[in-house]
Chain A
Amino acid sequence: MSVLTLTIDGQEVGASSDQTILDVAKAHKINIPTMCFLEGLTPWGGCRICVVDVEGAPRPLSSCTTHVTEGMVVTTTTGKLESYRKMILEMLYAEGNHTCSVCVSNGHCELQDKAQEMKMDHVRLPYLNQNMPMDSTHEHFGLDQDRCILCTRCVRVCSEIEGAQTWAVAGRGVDSHIISDLGTPWGESDSCTSCGKCVQVCPTGSLVNKGNAVNEQIKKVNFLEHLLQMRGQ
């Protein structure tokens, strides 16, 4: 680990080589929007909302997975980056069935917040209208694939924090979806400890507590930071 200097949005900042662009930006209160990223979990770089321009790089790079280098020149906000982020959100909306008005997470949803923040006022793409299944077999929780944006926070928290490895992603491309225990209904899963961490980190109304009506599902995503602090990690 070494100390180095780089420029983010014209501001010269100091950093250590084990930090990512997002780490450094956060430390200097430079806002880069994120979606699949969650403090306390291994960055995955899947959603691409946090893309930034790095001088010399042929394409935008995800700031949550790109480590800083000496003399790096980073730009976090341009018209083009904003249009990319907006397009990503539109694709997420077009791929799933996010009917906000009847969702348990309405008003407490990171996807919904992001759409408002990025001024996504409509989706320019045709909707896929996929018929996605719902798993209500678990005693306490439900999985609504319609709302899933494949951020894999549930997969990561289950594997990295709970150590149960119940969740995984199956299928490829547009067929990708979350499965429990290699495709066993969640309620019959042997590995699930019913800890509920996946529900709390899920940014949308995909993983939810049972018994909530519209607008009632409020997640406590910050539990993770406290947990790690308690563990001294």
Chain B
Amino acid sequence: MSKVTVATVWLDGCSGCHMSFLDMDERLIEIAEKIEFVYSPFVDVKELPESVDLGIIEGAVSNEDDLKKALKFRKSCKFLISLGDCAINGNVPAMRNKFSVRECFDRAYHENVTEHPIDPVGEGVPALLETVKPVHQVVPVDLFVQGCPPSADTIYYVLTELLAGRTPDPTTMTRFGA
């Protein structure tokens, strides 16, 4: 049997969800026999393949690059998971939504520096969106796995259920802020 192809991506978040994935420890070996990472911060592949079985998104959509990646993932992935609170509700990154991007820049790059106040814009720096959005407000999502981060047990449960052809119910294992 060919392996299930999996792609993961880290948008605006702390990478804690990816760390939690690695926290599956020895169960990773069991999982690795059934899946193959084709694109992820875990592996050194620069391009997302055109067709992937399972896509996992960590983090909120905060800038133009995040948006591009989310759209690409939806296009390529047959099944898409929002992993963690940032992807589902914006979480900590979305705390800037009360303020304009201008106000955020002023606070971070002007008011609190003593030298070289600048705006972090220009080539190679993706422009911030006016508001941070959950992934499902940008592209349709098939499954939501709450938690900050979702525990390794939760991720293991979700993956093994999906691999067994069943639809997991993550709310039995996790919640917002867990």
Contact = CB atoms under 8 A, between A and B. Distances in A.
Interface in A104-132: 106-107, 112-113, 115-116, 119-124, 126-127, 129-131
A125 to B, nearest CB: 9
B15 interface: no
A119 B95 contact: no
A102 interface: yes
A129 B175 contact: no
Contact of B176 (A97, A112, A119, A124): A112
Contacts of B136: 122, 124
Given A116-B175, A129-B131, A101 B91 contact: yes
Contacts of B95: 97, 99, 102
- Most chain B CB within a 10 A radius of its CB, from A106, A115, A121, A123: A121
B51 interface: no
Classify chain B: how many residues form its interface, as a range.
20 to 34
Contacts of B89: 93, 122-123, 127
Interface in B45-65: none
Q: Is the interface of A mostly helix, strand, loop or mixed?
A: loop
Given A101-B85, A127-B94, A119 B171 contact: yes
Contact of A121 (B170, B177, B178): B170
A99 B94 contact: yes
A115 B98 contact: no
A43 B58 CA distance: 42
A124 B171 CA distance: 16
Nearest to A120: B171
B101 interface: no
A208 interface: no
Contacts of A101: 85, 91-92, 148, 176-177
A179 interface: no
Contacts of B92: 99, 101-102
- Top 9 A-B residue pairs of the complex, sorted by shortest distance between their CB atoms: A100-B177, A101-B148, A129-B97, A121-B144, A116-B175, A100-B176, A131-B98, A106-B177, A119-B171
7 contacts: A99-B92, A101-B176, A101-B177, A103-B177, A122-B88, A122-B89, A122-B134
Given A119-B171, A123-B89, 14 more contacts: A99-B94, A100-B175, A101-B148, A107-B177, A112-B175, A116-B176, A121-B146, A121-B171, A124-B136, A126-B137, A127-B97, A129-B94, A129-B97, A131-B99
